[in-house]
A and B are shown apart, each in its own frame.
Chain A
C-alpha cells in the first residue's frame, strides 16, 4: 500500500527548498502529507519551494486536491511554489482544478431578530389563510358531493374508517382505562378527607365525557391518522400521482380529501364513546378495589350525575376535532414540496398543527358552552 511519508526535502544550488515526491499521492497518505507540507509552508514564510513530481506515477483525487490546497496556502503565506516534472496524464488531471468556476453563494441569514419574527408571523398568517381557503373549498366540494351521494366513493371512506377507527380501539382503550384509574386515585385522595368518596364517580364521568375523552381521542387521531394522511398525500404528490389524477379530470378534494374527512367524522364519535366507557371502567376498578365503592353504587351515581347534554357536548367537540385533524392532515400533505425530507416535515407539522387546533378549538368551544349554560 502507499503508507508512509511520500516525499523527501532538500535544497537546490539556488537555495530553493526542493520537495521530491517519491510515492503516489493518494487518499491514504493525503492527511499525513497535508500535515507535513502545511507545517513546512507555515515555517518558511517568504521562501521559494519546488515540488518535484518526476518520480510520481499516480496522483488520485485527494492528491490533486492536496497540491491545489498547498498552492493556495503558499499564496497566502507569500511562499513562491513551483511544481515541476509532472507527467502528462497527471498534468491533465490537475488541470481540472486550475480554474475556479463562480459559485452560487450560500445566503447566510443576516436578518435582525425583529425582522425574523416579522417574517415568521407573515409566513404563519399566509399559511393560516391558505388553510382557511382549503377548508372553504373542501366545504363547497362536500356540499356538491352530498347532493349526489350515489357518486361518492364510500368504499374509500370505509377503508379509512377502519384504519382510523377500529384499528385504534385497542390503544385508545388502554390509554383511557389507565387515565380513568389515575383520575379516580387522584380524586380519592382529596375526597376521602371529607368522606365524599362517592363523588369520585361524578368527577370522573363528567371530566371524561365533557373534556378528556374527546381530547384524548383527538390527540390519538392526530398522531395516528392526521400524520398518515399527510404522508400518504405527500408521497402521492412526489410520485406525480396527484398530477395524474388532476389531469384525468378528477376533483382532488373530492377524491382525496373528502373520504378521509368523512372517515374521521364517522370514527371520532364512536371512539369517544369507547373512550368514555374505558375510562369509567378504569375508575370503577380503582373504586372497587381501594375506595370501598361497589360498581353498582358507582354506576348509580353516574346515572344520577351525568346528563345527555354532557355526552352530546363531548360528541360535538369530537366532531369538530375530527374535521380539523383530517383537513389539516390533508392540507399539509398537499403542501409537500420535492424530496423525501419534505414528506417528513409535512407529516410532523400535520401532527403539530393538529394538536394546536385541537386545543385551540377546545378552548373556544368550552367558552361557548359556558356562556350558553350547557
Chain B
C-alpha cells in the first residue's frame, strides 16, 4: 500500500505537453501543469472545453496522443505503462459525476468492494472502516441502503466515500457539485475541504461552479475549447480580474461575443 512519507517532496501530478484526440479531432493540445502535494486544484472551462477529456487522460482511461502524465514520479501515459497505471490506480480515488455507485450493491458493499479487493484488512474491522467513511461524508447509518433509494446529493457523497475508501493520496472529482442545490453544493465543498485538511488528500477538481471554485481552490487552471488548451492559471481570486476577456467573462458570467 501507500506511504505518504515517500512522496513528501516533488509533485503529486505532473502533466507535460499532453495532447488528446478523438480520432481526427484534437481536443487538447500541449497541456502543461503540475499539482503539489496537499493542494486543491480546480480545472475550469465551459461546457465542451475538454475538461472531462482531460480528467479521463489523468486517470488513465484515455491514452494521450503525445506527452507525459506523471503520478508521484511514475509515468502512467506511455504505451508500456500498464503496470505503472495499475500501481497508480490503487492510489488514486475518482468521484464520477453521477457517483457511479454499483446499483446491485448496498452503500456498505460499494465501499467495502475496493477495500476487500486491494487490501488485506480482516473482516472484523471492515465494517468499522465502512462506517468511518460513511460518517465522514455524513451518511452515517446508510450502510444497508441501495443507491436507488438515495437522492442525487447523497449518491455523490456516497460516491465520494467509495473514492476515499483506501485513503488515496490524490482524489479526482468530476463536477462534484453539478446538479446539486446551492446549500448541498456548499456542503460538498465543505466536505472536500475537510478531507483535504484531515487526510491531506491532494485534489484535482473539474468544475464550472463559480462559488465552489472560489471556496475550495488553492490554484485554478482554465482551459478553453477554442484554444484547445490552458488559457490561464493562478489563484481564482486573481483570475477573477484577469485581463483575458475569456477568463473575465467566465468569472463574471458574461455572454461572450461569439455567442451573441
* In the complex, per-residue mask of A336-357: 1 if CB is within 8 Å of any chain B CB, else 0: 0111111000000000000000
* In the complex, per-residue mask of B165-191: 1 if CB is within 8 Å of any chain A CB, else 0: 111000000000000000000000000
Q: Which residues of A contact B124 (CB under 8 A)?
A: 34, 38, 69
B83 at the A interface (CB under 8 A): no
B120 touches A31 (CB 8 A): yes
Report if A65-B128 is in contact (Cβ < 8 Å); known contacts: A101-B140, A339-B147, A339-B148. Answer: yes
B198 touches A65 (CB 8 A): no
B133 at the A interface (CB under 8 A): yes
A15 at the B interface (CB under 8 A): no
Q: Which of B3, B104, B125 has the most CB of A within 10 A?
A: B125
B contacts with A: majority SS: loop
Q: How far is the CA of A342 from the CA of B104 in the complex (A)?
A: 9
A340 touches B128 (CB 8 A): no
* In the complex, per-residue mask of A91-104: 1 if CB is within 8 Å of any chain B CB, else 0: 01100110111111
Task: Kindly identify which residue among A26, A69, A89 contacts B198, using a CB–CB cutoff of 8 Å.
Answer: A89
Q: How large is the interface on B (under 10, 10 to 19, 20 to 34, 35 or more residues)?
A: 20 to 34
Q: Tell me the residues in window 118-136 of chain B with beta carbons closer than 8 Å to chain A beta carbons.
A: 119-122, 124-126, 128-129, 131-133, 135-136
Q: Which residue of B lies closest to A96 (CB)?
A: B135
Q: How far is the CA of A30 from the CA of B1 in the complex (A)?
A: 11
Q: Which residue of A lies closest to B4 (CB)?
A: A58
Q: How far is the CA of A337 from the CA of B257 in the complex (A)?
A: 45
Q: How large is the interface on A (under 10, 10 to 19, 20 to 34, 35 or more residues)?
A: 35 or more
Q: How far is the CA of A28 from the CA of B135 in the complex (A)?
A: 23
A2 at the B interface (CB under 8 A): yes
B33 at the A interface (CB under 8 A): no
B119 touches A27 (CB 8 A): yes
Report if A61-B129 is in contact (Cβ < 8 Å); known contacts: A1-B3, A101-B140, A104-B142. Answer: yes
Q: Which residues of A contact B79 (CB under 8 A)?
A: none
Q: How far is the CA of A31 from the CA of B121 in the complex (A)?
A: 5
Task: Kindly identify which residue among A2, A60, A340 contacts B167, using a CB–CB cutoff of 8 Å.
Answer: A60
Report if A101-B144 is in contact (Cβ < 8 Å); known contacts: A27-B121, A339-B103. Answer: no
Task: Kindly identify which residue among B132, B142, B148, B199 contacts A65, using a CB–CB cutoff of 8 Å.
Answer: B132
B interface vs A, CB < 8 Å?
1-4, 103-104, 106, 119-122, 124-126, 128-129, 131-133, 135-136, 140-145, 147-148, 165-167, 198-199
Query: Which 4 pairs from chain A and chain B are nearest by CB?
Result: A339-B103, A101-B141, A101-B140, A65-B128
